Amino acid sequence: MTPSINIEETVLHGHPVRYRTVGEGPPLVLIHGIAGSGQTWEDVMVPLAKGGHTVIAPDLLGHGESAKPRGDYSLGAYASGVRDLLSLLGHDRATIVGHSLGGGIAMIFAYQFPERTERLVLVDSGGLGKEVSFAIRAASLPGAEYVLPLLASTPILSAGSAIAGALGKIGLKAGPDMEEVGRSFASLGDLRTRAAFIHTVRAVIDPDGQRVSARDRLYLSAGVPTLIVWGDRDPIIPCRHGREAHELMPGSRFEVFEGAGHFPHRDDPVRFVEVLLDFIAANDPAWLEEEHTRELLRSGAGA
């Protein structure tokens, strides 16, 4: 019998948090990107669950159907929120998968909570280089909060061909890329979602590009099985970031999805599931001792 995705809600620190879950077995957490939601993972959740996992895809605070409080939208706060959700659901450890902004959150999760991280998977991840598309950088500019309501207005969103043409000019291919970005634009019609989006963008990006980088700490990933997945036609974050991160992360695996854009898990969900399940099967969960991290820190202190 094919399992079905359950959409559930809990409360963390007084705020409702929506999440999708399916399956039984070792936890596999899927973290979406900026202005997205757990919905982006729906094509892969059931196949991953069939592989013997409890698959959990939360809507981060400020996103989807979760609460959008005035508060901290830093990567560290998001990582702590994922940790708290796992604890509440009774999971001490998990394989952490992050897409785009979610990749940055996944790396911070592994950095802050190594004892809870079994494996790390980065999908077209932020936080690995300066370059990022102009459209994202523009959201960090002063006054962006006054422009976004116009872009997300119903008349503009209803002009599907015009939106498709504009997105095509910045390199987004027809199909999953446009569908996901269009969904993100639509979510910004809500005032609270828009405020959370602006706070999140400005926490990690300025007009010159990404200002938060994990590159100087990637050596700490030694001992944590790591998979890096990237679409070679990603117009938002260049594939080169993934290749360079692979070189800096000892023992990591790098998979390029030819012809895929910023959402390889949507472009080719069958291959994505196959690659991810194969990676999990080939790599036992990490069990890092404090002394291991201490030695890595000592070795990297003079780098």
In a domain, 203, yes or no: no
Which element (helix H / strand E) includes 55? strand 54-58
Active-site residue list? 100, 234, 262
178: Cβ–Cβ under 8 A, 6 or more apart, which residues? Answer: 163, 164, 167, 168, 172
Which residues on neighbouring strands pair with residue 30, listed in sequence order? 97
Structure tokens, 230: 């990237």
The CATH number of residue 247's host domain is 3.40.50.1820
In a domain, 170, yes or no: no
* Residue whose tokens read 């690659």: 275
DSSP state of 174: T
The whole-angstrom separation of Cα 210 and Cα 201 is 9
Which element (helix H / strand E) includes 295? helix 290-300
Judging by DSSP bridges, how do beta strands 94-99 and 209-210 pair with one another? unpaired
Which residues on neighbouring strands pair with residue 11, listed in sequence order? 16
Residue 220's nearest CA partner among 181, 248, 240, 260 is: 248
pTM of the model: 0.91
Of the pLDDT bands very low, low, confident and very high (cuts 50, 70, 90), residue 164 is very low
In a domain, 191, yes or no: no
pLDDT tens for each residue of 96-116: 999 999 999 999 999 999 999
Which residues on neighbouring strands pair with residue 44, listed in sequence order? none
Domain of 125, in residue numbers: 6-130+212-300
pLDDT tens for each residue of 199-253: 999 999 999 999 999 999 898 888 899 999 999 999 999 999 999 999 999 899 9
In a domain, 27, yes or no: yes
Which element (helix H / strand E) includes 260? none
End-to-end CA distance of the chain: 53
CA gyration radius for the chain? 18
Looking at the structure of the chain, the number of domains it has is 1
